[in-house]
């Protein structure tokens, strides 16, 4: 699975630009640029919902093949490998948002799933969400959270005992649990064994799952999260470099400096100066 590319949006490399809640586009708009074939790939941080209203799609979702006809929805969490072969008359939309924006809404994030038929409530939720995104008004952030919650409710209601609903990807579920734990504990521990024990698998198996789903080791996932936080603190806080390192579990400033240099390309002080344009 190491060869499966990771994209921001399909055909684009990872982008440093901030997303304002979400991105949406018609299936036609992007698929026709690629001759209606989207090769298997994955997204590092994005959660996607594809709603097909016309035409046909053959979909690979986390190793399983699916046929999507009108009034079908596919849910693709971060890290799940997926690809498509669309008919030229395909219609519908693809919604993309940062998976982290689903946290704290009171509902579990859906796993990889295909829903066939009875998608009316999902369609209404998508329509209202994209309308608010396109025409933000007073209380925009609050409205976006409300519409995202209603979309999660619609997806959740469509799943239990729904005809044609197919849950896939046990490996992806374990990796999602692991990444959630990393988000909670990366300041306290970088030991893969600690996370493996919490998830309920061996360290070797957790590494195997991460390589299968994400294309990198469990330690790389942990270190990437620590490096992201280091970068954020260096850019946005006024804390001394030594204190940032200590709060991320590096009591030795030299060790922290070497870690930042390895992961982000330069020493912390130099990186901070560059990011702030000094």
Q: Does residue 150 sit in the same domain as residue 19?
A: yes
Q: Does residue 145 sit in the same domain as residue 183?
A: no
Q: Which domain holds residue 227?
A: 170-275
Decide if 194 is inside a domain. Answer: yes
Higher per-residue confidence, 111 vs 60: 60
Q: Within the chain, where are the H helices? A: 27-31, 120-134, 140-158, 170-185, 192-199, 203-214, 218-236, 241-247, 253-264, 268-275
DSSP 11-61: T-----SPP-SEEEEEHHHHHGGGTTEEEEEEESSEEEEEEEEES-EEEEE
Decide if 1 is inside a domain. Answer: no
Decide if 260 is inside a domain. Answer: yes
Q: Does residue 232 sit in the same domain as residue 266?
A: yes
Query: What's the rounded Cα separation, in Å, for the pair 272 and 275?
Result: 5
Q: What is the pLDDT of residue 7?
A: 56
Q: Does residue 88 sit in the same domain as residue 190?
A: no
N residues, the chain: 278
Domain final residue, candidates 149, 167, 185: 167
Q: Does residue 31 sit in the same domain as residue 129?
A: yes
Total domains in the chain come to: 2
Domain final residue, candidates 102, 137, 167: 167
HSE on the CB side for 269, CA within 13 Å?
A: 4
Decide if 120 is inside a domain. Answer: yes
Decide if 122 is inside a domain. Answer: yes
Q: Does residue 175 sit in the same domain as residue 261?
A: yes
Decide if 64 is inside a domain. Answer: yes
Residue 235 has pLDDT above 60, yes or no: yes
Q: Does residue 187 sit in the same domain as residue 52?
A: no
Q: What is the pLDDT of residue 8?
A: 58
Q: What is the pLDDT of residue 278?
A: 62
Classify residue 264 by burial, with Cβ atoms within 10 Å: 0-12, 13-18, 19+.
middle
Decide if 208 is inside a domain. Answer: yes
Query: What pLDDT digit, counting tens, does each position of 68-99 carry?
Result: 999 999 999 887 888 999 999 999 999 998 88
CB-based contacts of 185, cutoff 8 Å, min separation 6: 194, 195
Q: Which helix H or strand E contains 118, and what residues bound it?
A: none
Q: Does residue 159 sit in the same domain as residue 190?
A: no
Q: Does residue 149 sit in the same domain as residue 260?
A: no
Domain final residue, candidates 167, 183, 213: 167
Q: Does residue 153 sit in the same domain as residue 19?
A: yes
Q: What is the pLDDT of residue 203?
A: 93
Query: What pLDDT digit, counting tens, does each position of 92-139 carry?
Result: 999 998 888 887 777 777 878 899 988 999 999 999 999 998 888 899
Decide if 91 is inside a domain. Answer: yes
Q: What is the pLDDT of residue 5?
A: 55
Considering the entire predicted model, what is its pTM?
Answer: 0.59
Residue 22 has pLDDT above 80, yes or no: yes
Q: Does residue 158 sit in the same domain as residue 194?
A: no
Q: What is the CATH number of the domain that holds 80?
A: 2.60.120.280
Mean pLDDT, the chain, whole residue set: 85
Give Cα separations from 126 to 32, 45, 130, 131, 265 (angstroms). Answer: 22, 20, 6, 8, 40
Q: Does residue 67 sit in the same domain as residue 53?
A: yes
Q: What is the CATH number of the domain that holds 180?
A: 1.10.10.60
């Amino acid at each position: 699975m190491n060869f499966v590319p990771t994209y921001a949006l399909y055909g684009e490399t990872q982008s440093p630009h901030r997303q304002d809640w979400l991105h949406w586009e018609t299936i036609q708009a992007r698929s026709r640029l690629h001759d209606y074939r989207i090769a298997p790939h994955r997204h590092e941080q994005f959660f996607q919902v594809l709603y097909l209203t016309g035409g046909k799609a053959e979909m690979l979702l986390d190793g399983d093949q699916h046929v999507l006809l009108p009034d079908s929805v596919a849910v693709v969490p971060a890290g799940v490998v997926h690809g498509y072969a669309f008919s030229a008359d395909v219609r519908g939309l693809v919604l993309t948002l940062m998976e982290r924006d689903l946290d704290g809404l009171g509902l579990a994030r859906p796993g990889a799933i295909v829903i066939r038929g009875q998608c009316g409530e999902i369609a209404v939720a998508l329509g209202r969400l994209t309308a608010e995104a396109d025409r933000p008004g007073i209380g925009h952030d609050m409205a976006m959270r409300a519409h995202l919650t209603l979309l999660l409710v619609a997806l959740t209601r469509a799943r239990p005992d729904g005809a044609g609903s197919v849950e896939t990807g046990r490996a992806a579920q374990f990796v999602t649990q692991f990444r959630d734990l990393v988000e909670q504990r990366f300041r306290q521990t970088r030991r893969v064994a600690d996370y493996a024990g919490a998830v309920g698998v061996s360290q070797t198996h957790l590494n195997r799952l991460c390589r299968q789903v994400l294309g990198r080791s469990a330690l790389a996932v942990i270190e990437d999260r620590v490096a992201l936080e280091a970068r954020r603190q260096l850019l946005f806080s006024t804390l001394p470099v030594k204190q940032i390192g200590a709060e991320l579990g590096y009591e030795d400033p030299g060790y922290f400096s070497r870690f930042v240099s390895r992961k982000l390309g330069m020493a912390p002080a130099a990186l901070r100066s560059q990011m702030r344009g000094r």
